[in-house]
Chains A and B, each alone.
Chain A
């Protein structure tokens, strides 16, 4: 039984297609993050799961039960919003029990739940306050509390941390992680922040233009991006994508960047399909953090590139090199001194590379 299953789901707003044939499954207790740039349809998908938006095609199942035409309140879900959406005229207590009251829950049960949740979230001292008298972090907690008291099957979070300042955001992120560890409820979480997605999710679905690009564990998303969009979207700075061709000779496979004079052996790369690789136009993907200044593995491949630009950011520095007239970025500890406009020896960790077809931009 899947806690949540989305089947061939499509959604249009007038003539604009927002979601196209989305298929998604979540097992009990998982933390799924919907990640993507703004306008990719992730919030619409969440609203559809909640029942706040109608569906054009496809179905949504919760516990194998088709809820596509079921009212939001009957879907056994709870949602936390970006703007908190606390009812301004009600105090914290009334905010938290509003849903239970609507569901005609017994007074004793309401009190019991309220006490349990407010203690758990440490808002039990704030029950008589109005939302306007709370700080951002407290509001967020109350909003989570309002979702918790209903003991839902699925928690939906719509960019819940975007309104907080940087420091509080990191704190609340950890709290949400703890919350999930303790309660083990299924979560669907929408964000455009990759750090949030990576640190919180047990699974991440990366979306772009209404299509899921990759639905995988955070580790696989980082290590084996399924196309150039994912490769580019995840990581800061993002993965270097160098244009070039593959050459096959006597069982060995090499990558040559356009206009470059050296070949990089890529025989250790796990190709999906080993045929027709000779003369294939590809993007060679390597993350800035996988370019080392000192050789650290036996397999590292040494190249000599010219340093063009240095960006110092305290604990590390980001260097831009010229790789046959293509920019390539590398991340080093800030203790390393590299002179600009000089040829520098670097080491590519070729166990960490990705290769993409230049036409389809898919991983090969």
Chain B
């Protein structure tokens, strides 16, 4: 009697907790969907606006669906209208950015890897100080180095050039890349280096043959970080370059702000998306390594 009473009350409790859980789950999904739409909303507006004609934009609302797949504004954003003066379009600046970002990412990553290797595996007197000063580099605001950097670029004769921008971004990137690689290499047992030294491998051989092949996770993290930083940079680009040598973010700004006639929202939106696509691609391709690499230093293995 007692037992059956007990078991029935347990059933009731079980039922109750089931309903509570179900409610909480749905509530959770509701919140998640709400936030997700909040974040996707601007992108949605950008994409649909870029596919509309100016007529549609004037008549419809912000959220209305475009009448068809109209890629004219994309073509204009990328390749211009074809008439001479005052026609700004992204293509040449896109390649400027590529020419800037590829070497800058490569050099800053490589130098960072090398520095991280030295700071962890070839300890020297004062290495802690070197690392500390490098860390300062991460916290110096961009604005603070604009003037000295401009003087330096001028003295080197590479102001207003893609080469100059590569140098700026490489130098400014080294503190971050060094920090990444140092933290990664700290977790790699130094015994590996000792074993290689006994086996007769030298400084560079140990780096290229033994450490670099196992650095893939942190290389990916560094590349994503540097690519995003450099590609999205506006301040250095607008300060150290103008006209022909400008990177895409500067060109985007010029394009959107310097329209003489009517504001062409569809072209503006298409341009903005084009300027953002490369970083998106990098994230999609390497994103899963990004999280793995960020946490890999934390767990010994």
Residues of A within 8 A of B (CB): 47, 50-52, 71-73, 77-79, 81-83, 85, 87-89, 98-99, 102-103, 146, 158
Contacts and interface: CB of A to CB of B under 8 A. Distances in A.
Contacts of A50: 194, 198
Interface in B179-199: 189, 191-192, 194-199
B214 A73 contact: no
Given A79-B195, A85-B191, A85-B192, A103 B213 contact: no
Contact of A72 (B189, B197, B205, B213): B197
B82 interface: no
A73 B200 contact: yes
A133 to B, nearest CB: 14
Given A81-B194, A87-B192, A98 B214 contact: no
A343 to B, nearest CB: 54
A52 B194 contact: yes
B200 A103 contact: yes
A73 B198 CA distance: 5
Given A83-B189, A87-B210, A89-B210, A73 B194 contact: no
Nearest to A87: B210
B135 interface: no
**Most B CB atoms within 10 A — which of A47, A83, A87, A88?**
A87
Interface in B191-242: 191-192, 194-201, 205, 209-210, 213-214
A45 to B, nearest CB: 15
A323 B261 CA distance: 106
- Which 4 residue pairs of A and B lie closest in terms of their CB atoms, listed nearest first? A89-B213, A102-B200, A99-B199, A73-B200
Contacts of A73: 197-200
**Most A CB atoms within 10 A — which of B197, B198, B201, B213?**
B198
**Contact residues of B: prevailing secondary structure:** helix
B194 A85 contact: yes
A85 B200 CA distance: 15
B214 A89 contact: yes
A219 B280 CA distance: 70
19 contacts: A47-B194, A50-B194, A52-B197, A52-B198, A71-B197, A73-B199, A79-B194, A79-B195, A81-B189, A82-B191, A85-B192, A85-B195, A87-B195, A88-B214, A98-B196, A99-B198, A102-B199, A146-B195, A158-B191
Nearest to A77: B198
A47 B195 CA distance: 11
Nearest to B189: A83
A21 B184 CA distance: 38
A168 B11 CA distance: 51
Contacts of B214: 88-89
B237 to A, nearest CB: 38
**Most A CB atoms within 10 A — which of B195, B200, B213?**
B195
B194 A98 contact: no
Nearest to A78: B198
